[in-house]
Structure 1
Amino acid sequence: MSGTLRTASRVMIAGSVLVLGGCSYFSNKDKMEAPKLASAESLYNYGVDALHSQRYVLASGEFELLQQNYPYSGYTANAELMEGYAYYLQGEYALSVQQLDRYLELHPTSPDAAYAFYLRALCYYEQIADVQRDQQGTIEAMDALEEVVTRFPQTDYARDARLKIDLCRDHLAGKEMLVGRYYQQQRNYEASMNRYQRVVQDFQTTNHVPEALERLVEVYLSLGLGDEARRTASILGYNYPDSKWYRYAYTNLKEYHLASNDTPKPGKKAGTEPGFFGRMWHSIF
C-alpha cells in the first residue's frame, strides 16, 4: 500500500473514532431522566391550591396521586378526605360518597369524622329530586342527616343537619300532597284521603298541614261525611285561624249548610283547650 493510501486510511479510521465517540457523547448527554415525584407535602399543597382556584378535577387527581405513592404519609388521611370534598365540588356525588365511606372505614375515630359524615349527607341532600319525581333520594338524605345528628349531636354539623331534615320532611310532605291532589281530581277519594292524613299524622311540623286539613274537608264533603268535615275544619280553625285554608274550609261548610253559630269565623281562634289537636285526630282517624 502506498504511503498516500496508508495516510488516508489512518485519517478515515481516526475520523470514524471521533464520529463514534461524538455519538456516544451526545447520546449520554441527551438522555432524559425520569421526573422525580413530588413529595407528599407538595402533592397535598398542590391539591389544596387547586381547590382554592376551583380546579377541582386537578385537585382530586393530586390527592389520589398522593395516596397511591405515599400510603403511609402523615398527609394521606387528609388527602383521602379532601379527595371526597373535591368530588363533591365537582358534583360527582356518587364518587364523593364512595371516597368518604372509604375514609370513614379507615379512620372511624378521626377528629374529622363528623365532617366526613356531614359531607356524605350533603351528597345525598344535593341529589333530592323535584316533588314530581321519586323521593327515594330524599329518604336517603334524611337517613344520612339523622346519622350526623345521632353521632355528633352537639356539633354545628348536627345543627345544620336538623334544619335540612326539616326541609326533607317538608319535601316529602309536598310529594304526598301532590299525589293526594291528583287522586282527588280523579275522584279517588279514599286514596287522596290516605295521602292527606299521612301529611297530618307524619309531617305535623311542615307547612303543608293546613292545606292537608282543608283538602280533607273537601274530601269529606264530597263523600257526604258532614260530621268528619266539621271536626276537621274545627282542628284547622283552632290551629290555623288566620290561614287562607281555614277561610276556604269555612266557606265550604257554609255552602253545605254545616257551619253553625258556634263555628269560629276565620281569624278568630276557637276557645278550645290545649291538647285538642291530638285528641281530635284520634276521633277522626
Structure 2
Amino acid sequence: MRFVKVSAALVLATLLSACSWWGGDKLAPDVPEQQLYEEALSAMDDDNYALAVEKLQLLEARYPFGQYSEQAQLELIYAYFKTYEPESASAAADRFVRLHPNHANIDYAYYMKGLTAFEQDRSFLTRYLPLDETQRDPGAARDSFDSFATLVSRYPESEYAPDAQKRMQYLKNRLATHEIHVAAYYMKRQAWVAAANRGRYVVENFQETPAVPDALAVMGEAYTELGMTELANNAYKVLELNFPDYEVRSFKEPRSTLLNTATFGLLGEAETPAVPARPTGSSGASKAKAAETDEAKEERSWFDRITFGIFD
C-alpha cells in the first residue's frame, strides 16, 4: 500500500513538472525598470536592435507608467525602424503621438514616421540597381510627405525640420514624375480627359518641379485631341514662355499594322506619333524638331529593313 502511495506521488510530481521538462512557458524573473532600460540602450549601442526591441517591449509591458516608459516608446520606434519593420515603427509613432500629444519630443515621432515611410519601399534592388522609383506605387511616398509636412508646419524650429524639408523636395519631384507616367499611360490609351487632368494636377500642385514642362506638353496634346484649341494653345504658350528650350514630344504610343508587328518592323508601315502643335517660332529647338520630323517621314528601303538598318 505504501508503495502505491509513493508511486502516485511520483507520477503527480512528474505531471506537474512536465511543462518545464518539455520547454513550456517560463515566467521571466522580475527585472528593475532601470536595468531593463539600460539593457535596451546597451543592445542598441551594440547594433543588436532585435534584442533592444525585446527589452523595450518587456519594459512597456511591466512598467507602463514608469519613469522610462515614454522614452522607451520613442526608442522603440527607432528600434523597429532599424530592424526593418516599417509597419511596427509607424504604428509605434502613431501610438506615441496619440498618447503624448504635448510631449517635448513629439517632433521626433513625426520625423521617424516620415522617415519610415520614406525608406519603406526602397528594397534591396532599388538601392543598388538603377530602377525608376517614380513608376512604382507612390503610397508610401505620399505618407512620408504628409508626415514631414506635418512636422515642418507644426514644429518649424525643430532640429529635424531642415532634413524633412530636403526629403519633401525629393518626394515632391518623385510624386510629380509619377503623375506624368500615369498621364502618358492615359495618352497611350487615348483617355484624353484623364491625361489632361493629370497634367493640370501637376501644374497646380507640383510647381517648381522638373515635371511641369512635361505636364504642360501633355495638356496641350490632350486638349488638341479633344478639339479644345484655345486650351491647347494656352498650354503651349505657357510652356514656350517658361521653358523655351523644352523639346516637345508626343506622349501617344505609335501604332503599327498587324503585318508590321508580326514581322518585327520588316514589312508593313508603322505610324509615327503625331507631334503636338505649338506656337510657331524661329527658335533653334523648333527647327531641330522640324528636321527630326521630316527625317522620320522618309521611306525606309527594303535593304534597310532586312538588315535592321545596320548597313544603311
TM category, shorter: 0.5 to 0.7
Counterpart secondary structure, 1:111: coil
How far the C-alpha of 1:163 sits from its partner, in A, is 2.4
Cα distance in structure 1, aligned partners of 2:223 and 2:73? 57
C-alpha displacement at 1:124, in angstroms? Answer: 2.5
- Distance in 2 between the 1:91 and 1:84 partners? 11
**1:136 alignment counterpart:** 139
Counterpart of 1:239 in structure 2 is: 242
1:180-259 alignment runs, 5 A limit? 180-223=183-226, 228-243=231-246, 245=247, 248=249, 259=279
SS at match of 2:120: coil
Please provide the CA RMSD for this pair. Answer: 3.0
Q: Is 2:62 the partner of 1:69? A: yes
**Residues 114, 152 of structure 1: 8 Å contact kept:** yes
More helix by share: 1
Q: Which residue of 2 aligns with 1:91?
A: 84
Matched, 1:51 2:51: no
CA gap 1:258/1:106 in 2 versus in 1, 3 angstroms: closer
Offset of 1:58 from its aligned partner?
Answer: 0.5
Distance 1:216 1:49, change over 3 A: same
- Cα deviation digits, residues 10-54 of structure 1 (max 9, x gap): xxxxxxxxxxxxxxxxxxxxxxxx985443222222211211222
Deviation by residue 1:177-218 (Cα, 9 ceiling, x = unmatched): 112111211222222222112211221122111112223333
Partner of 1:153: 156
Larger Rg: 1
The 3 A distance-change label for structure 1 pair 242 and 60 is same
Distance in 1, Cα, partners of 2:87 & 2:280: 58
- Cα offset for 1:266? 4.0
State how far apart, in whole Å, the 2-side matches of 1:217 and 1:264 are: 19
Change (3 A) 1:266 1:84: same
Determine if contact 1:104/1:116 at 8 Å carries over to the other structure. yes
Contact kept in structure 2, 1:237 and 1:264, CA below 8 Å: no
Secondary structure of 2:245's aligned partner: coil
Aligned position for 1:113: 106
What is the letter of the counterpart of residue 93 of structure 2?
L
Separation in 1, partners of 2:108, 2:86 = 16
Gaps of 5+ in 2: 1-26, 123-132, 251-274, 287-312
Q: What is the CA deviation profile of residues 38-93 of structure 1, one whole-angstrom value per residue up to 9, with x for unaligned ones?
A: 43222222211211222111101111222233344322221121112101111212
Structure 1: runs of 5 or more not aligned: 1-33, 250-254, 268-285
AA matched with 1:242: D
Moved more, 35-44 or 149-158: 35-44
- SS for the counterpart of 2:152 is helix
Name the SS for the 2:160 alignment partner. Answer: helix
C-alpha distance in 2 between matches for 1:37 and 1:207: 59
Residue 166 of structure 2 corresponds to residue 173 of structure 1: no
1:115-137 CA distance string (max 9 Å, x none) = 11211222233335854454333
Q: How far 1:148 moved relative to its partner? A: 0.9
Q: Which residue of 1 aligns with 2:97?
A: 104
Please give the secondary structure, in 2, of the residue aligned with 1:176.
helix
8 Å Cα contact 1:67-1:79 kept in structure 2: yes
